[in-house]
Structure 1
Amino acid sequence: MPDLGSFLKGAHVDRSVFELRPDYRAMLLAVDGIRPGAGDEDSEALLVAAEASVREPADRPVEELPHIASWREAYRAFGAKPQRTRNSLEALTRRAGSEAGLPRVNRLTDIYNAISVIHQVPLGGEDLNRYVGSPRLIRATGEEPFDTVADGADVVVHPEAGEVVWCDEIGVTCRRWNWRQATRTRLHDGTTAALFILDALDPMTDQDLDGVADDLLTNVARLGPNVHSARRVIRP
């Protein structure tokens, strides 16, 4: 298990990404000491609150909510079609407002999904112990490997050239900025150390972003007596 501070110190956002969106900020939270477990009353209450927050009468469609609209613009900027590949925030928000509601997975996943919807910010959670090196956000060459599942089978595919991707030393960990996570690093029922990535664009302020991180860490801190964390914001 790497030192959390050293792990985050090695994280990097490529200059080409900031050229695409100068308002972009990445909040990285590394957490260790998590005790895995099934959903509980607290995580269920968060999910219910998240669902209620988007089921209330709204004066605009989901795609016009401020942060979701910003992410749609960001996707178009690198050639993705947001109506076909929805950013994680939009996908979760739509599901939260549907009859099906948010998925119930495990308490760690349920917490970060709920926080994403409540605070309206794309929020990825990954198994830190499965990283090889620190996370990097780059414009892909198109040759990087991405392990995923297609038609029930494990496959390796590649991002499109110019696509914004998170990666480590051996491959892509999340495609299209915050669209789909790799199989290798995704959270699972036995995760004890996690990396959370909060992606912010205008109109989300730095103060708002800090508040989301505080709320997430408050909820994750109860998942074990020895939970500890480190955080870092990467900005232009």
Structure 2
Amino acid sequence: MKVEIYSDIACPWCYIGKRRFEQALDRFDGKDGVEVVYRPYQLVPDAPAEASPHRAWLAERYGPQSVAMDARVAELGAAEGIRYDFDAALHANTFLGHRLLHLAETEYGPAVQVALKEALLKAHFTDGVDIGDRAALTEIAVATGLDGERVAGYLAGEEGTAEVRAQLEEGRQLGISAVPTFVFEGKWAVQGGQEAETFLRVLTQVAAETATTESPEHGESCTDGSCAV
């Protein structure tokens, strides 16, 4: 079974969704036969190259309610073992990070890409790292097992740019307008950072669908468990 997860590095619900999906996958009997691949999505594609404080950016965009928004996500994240530090977090353009994830998938494989995704999310939301900075991205990649010289050269050039832009466009063509969105076998989509039980039910139903002609139920929809443009 192939699961493609459309996700942005700067999406707090994507971090929660990743943890909950992985909890479900650990409990799924057929987990050894599941391939997980991350696909790019940018919540703010026109974010400037120079990073700025997350709190200030969110307040400008959503007003006074931004503090409560962060607090709610931090509380939910803590329940999943995630420590959000929104005071340290930086608003940054994520395109370079998506290029790096593409490199990890194509040259190191999906498992390394998943590990890199975790490292990037932690760097952004917990450690206050500028994920739009090439040197910082290279350091994260090396710690995840990628070759530093290869990564530095890759990020300095334009490799992977066309491919990532094509994947972003593919997501738009699929109608994906909020993340995280989990696409199972290229046919069925679940949106939002659903509970682990929901993901486990979907994994089980999709596995059954591959052997039958019945369509799986996707579980309840989520109104606030995803990040929308």
Say yes or no: TM over 0.5: no
TM range (shorter): under 0.3
Q: Which one has the bigger strand percentage?
A: 1
Higher helix share: 2
TM score, norm. by length of structure 2: 0.27
TM-score by length of 1: 0.27
